[in-house]
């Protein structure tokens, strides 16, 4: 069965799957397009789902849409930020209503996930449509002595009422200090590390509550939605490593305090993605969207393969060169699968398939799985029909659309015609080293070249 690294336990643990596995993934804040770094977490959750389903385990997935409550900035580093909602601020900048803006970027996010072959979750609740659940949860926390109200209508979580705070991130409560940019502790708080469950305010994205009109804090949203759609105990909670603290730490405290027991069995985090060695940010000008990848003439699934070339717990430095290399591999494998499909049928190469599946089960060791697939591709002792069956079987997890070229007329990929012409000139001039090098470059693009008395032919 699948074994995966549990951030809270700090070790690789086996996922018990004698029943349906319920999985929650923190979804996007829909005030802008998701960049490829954001999308890495969602590919991780899809990969986990596909590996489990390959073992005939039913997965019930929930991925929320944050369209309220995520504040513009976080100057203290404690997740509090200012009182300006990101969706509201961006809607004002774009001249749209907050609802129109949120739906626009939600639709764009869903389109990106479809382009990456991510299976849609069973539940995709919007924060703005589940505020009643958050109000109920906050009221329960107040009733149980884990939260308190302030005169201005704010409600804060009393972190000192939850002794095991910090088990995910390792940040001990007695070691937490106010952030260096905060001159004074908020006088409304009993303890500087307490966080807002509800904030007072007016405007379009506000609601009436027993504490006054306002809007929910970001952290309480995921607690309320996960408890409602997955129940009071579920198996997996996923997110990027940047959410480990304070978001997931706060979420665990809220959910456990409300239920009286440990809600999440395993916490799983994907590492950061860099682009050209730097964190993606507007200020550095290196934000890359999936639409940018397509505009560059690359298949969007080249992004998925580039992610799979690295372990999810490793920081990944993506570059245009790595994306182009991944694109060549995707196209080559599709061409190989189409070619193998014309060969006589043969049983799957079971030994290879078992090795790849073992790599998947071993804490999602996708780099090892891809190395084994390349070994199979080159193994001349394995019948083409067996390669065809094996690659298609494993593509249920890889999700690279490896069968998409079967039955299609053969068309040269971009740039291949120029390479073929250059190779023809090299052969005419007797430059056999250049001829061989160009043959290898064409093979990387999925174009196989053969030399005949009438000249070179390709397939």
Q: Is 26 annotated as a binding residue?
A: yes
With H, G, I as helix, E, B as strand and everything else as coil, classify residue 6: strand
Closest CA to 120 of 11, 233, 229, 25: 25
Closest CA to 404 of 252, 300, 315, 288: 300
Q: Transcribe 268-325 into DSSP letters.
A: EEEPPEEETTEE--GGGT---BHHHHHHTT--THHHHHHHHTS-TTS-EEE-HHHHHH
What are the two backbone dihedrals, phi and then psi, of residue 242, each rounded to the nearest 5 degrees? -70, -15
Bridge-based pairing of strands 449-452 and 214-216 is unpaired
CA geometry: angle 71, 77, 82, nearest 5 deg: 30
Q: How far lies 226's CA from each of 125, 139, 236, 239, 378, in Å?
A: 9, 17, 11, 13, 46
Bridge-based pairing of strands 59-63 and 147-149 is unpaired
Separation between Cα atoms, residue 402 and residue 404, nearest integer Å: 6
- For 177, residues 6+ apart whose C-beta sits below 8 A from its C-beta are 192
Q: Is 62 annotated as a binding residue?
A: no
Q: Is 86 annotated as a binding residue?
A: no
CB count, 10 Å around CB of 252?
25
Q: Which residues are annotated as a binding site for Zn(2+)?
A: 26, 222, 247, 251
Q: Which residues are annotated as a binding site for ATP?
A: 282
Q: Which residues are annotated as a binding site?
A: 26, 222, 247, 251, 282
């Amino acid at each position: 069965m699948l074994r995966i690294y549990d951030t809270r336990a700090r070790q690789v643990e086996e996922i018990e799957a004698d029943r349906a596995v319920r999985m929650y993934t923190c979804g996007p804040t829909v005030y802008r397009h998701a960049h490829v770094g954001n999308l890495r977490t969602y590919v991780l959750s899809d990969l986990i789902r596909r590996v489990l389903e390959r073992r005939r385990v039913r997965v019930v997935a929930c991925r929320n849409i944050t369209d309220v409550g995520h504040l513009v900035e976080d100057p203290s580093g404690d997740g509090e930020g200012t009182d300006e909602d990101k969706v509201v601020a961006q809607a004002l900048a774009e001249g749209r209503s907050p609802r129109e803006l949120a739906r626009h970027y939600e639709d764009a996010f869903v389109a990106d996930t479809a382009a990456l072959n991510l299976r849609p979750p069973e539940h995709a609740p919007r924060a703005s449509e589940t505020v009643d659940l958050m109000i109920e949860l906050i009221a329960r926390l107040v009733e149980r002595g884990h939260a308190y109200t302030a005169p201005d209508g704010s409600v804060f979580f009393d972190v000192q009422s939850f002794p095991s705070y910090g088990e995910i991130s390792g940040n001990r409560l007695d070691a937490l200090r106010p952030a260096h940019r905060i001159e004074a502790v908020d006088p409304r708080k009993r303890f500087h590390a307490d966080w807002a469950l509800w904030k007072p305010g007016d405007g379009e994205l506000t609601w009436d509550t027993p504490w006054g009109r306002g809007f929910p804090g970001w952290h309480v949203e995921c607690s309320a939605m996960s408890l409602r759609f997955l129940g009071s105990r579920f198996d997996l909670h996923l997110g990027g490593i940047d959410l480990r603290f304070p978001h997931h730490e706060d979420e665990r405290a809220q959910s456990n305090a409300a239920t009286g027991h440990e809600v999440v069995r395993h916490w799983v985090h994907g590492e950061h993605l860099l682009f050209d060695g730097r964190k993606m940010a507007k200020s550095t000008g290196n934000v890359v969207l999936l639409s940018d990848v397509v505009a560059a003439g690359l298949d969007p699934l080249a992004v998925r393969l580039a992610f799979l070339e690295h372990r999810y717990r490793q920081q990944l430095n993506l570059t245009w060169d790595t994306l182009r290399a991944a694109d060549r591999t995707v196209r080559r494998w599709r061409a190989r699968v189409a070619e193998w499909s014309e060969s006589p049928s043969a049983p799957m190469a079971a030994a290879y398939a078992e090795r790849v599946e073992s790599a998947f089960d071993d804490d999602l060791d996708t780099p090892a799985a891809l190395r084994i697939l390349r070994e199979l591709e080159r193994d001349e002792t394995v019948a083409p029909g067996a390669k065809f069956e094996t690659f298609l079987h494993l593509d249920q997890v890889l999700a690279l659309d490896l069968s998409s070229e079967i039955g299609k007329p053969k068309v040269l990929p971009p740039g291949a015609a120029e390479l073929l012409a250059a190779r023809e000139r090299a052969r005419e001039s007797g430059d056999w080293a250049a001829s061989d090098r160009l043959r290898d470059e064409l093979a990387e693009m999925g174009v196989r070249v053969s030399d005949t008395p009438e000249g070179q032919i390709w397939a």
